[in-house]
Amino acid sequence: MEDEWEEEEQLVVVELSGIINSDFLTKCQGTCKILDIDSEQPMMQVGRYVFAGEYDDALGTCVLFEEGQSSGADPEASPELSYKCHTVKRLMMQRTFLAEKKEGDNSSGYTHTHTHTHTHSEPSHTNKHTHCCAMLSILDQYCGPLELSW
């Protein structure tokens, strides 16, 4: 009997907090690993940074645009933007430092760091079979295709 995949796709805007290096997205190696994306507290690794977060509703609507080729001959002209989609969901991710979990320790094994530097990106979401479909994102623009894994 053939397995049937029931795919559900939901667009979510990710807000990354705790990044001190402003060149973070331009220097990343092109991978984004997501753990427990369907849980209340998913984790994400981008380059050498690890983030833990939670989903919430935006105070308005997040409108996302695709950057197209500029139609003019002027290379310094602003790029053309076309509507991609909109969403009211966002995933607030806070930079996390992992620590080795010692025997008998009931803690989660990570600690949060709080700063006010934000980087916005658009990630992907999943279906019931932990199948993930990557959406066009700022991370994709700077780092190449996203690699999502659990």
pLDDT tens digit at each of 150 positions of the chain:
567 888 877 777 888 888 777 677 777 766 688 899 889 999 998 888 899 999 999 899 999 898 887 666 676 777 889 998 998 889 999 999 888 877 776 655 544 443 333 333 433 333 222 222 233 233 333 344 444 433
Q: Indicate the pairing of strand 80-98 with strand 13-17.
A: parallel
* Architecture of the domain spanning 13-63+79-99+108-143: Sandwich (2.60)
Inter-CA distances, 103 with 53, 66, 97, 109, 138, Å:
25, 48, 19, 11, 40
Amino acid at 57: D
Predicted TM-score (pTM) of this structure = 0.57
| Cα separation, 26 vs 39, whole angstroms | 29
Element (H, E) at 143: helix 138-143
Tell the residue number behind the tokens 């992907």, with chain if given. 124
Whether the CB-CB separation of 105 and 68 falls below 8 Å is answered with no
Can you list the pairs that 68-71 forms with residues at least 24 positions away whose Cβ atoms lie under 8 Å?
Answer: none
Helix (H, G, I), strand (E, B) or coil at 65: strand
Q: Which residues contact 1 (CB under 8 A, 6 or more apart)?
A: none
Q: What is the residue extent of each domain of the chain?
A: 13-63+79-99+108-143
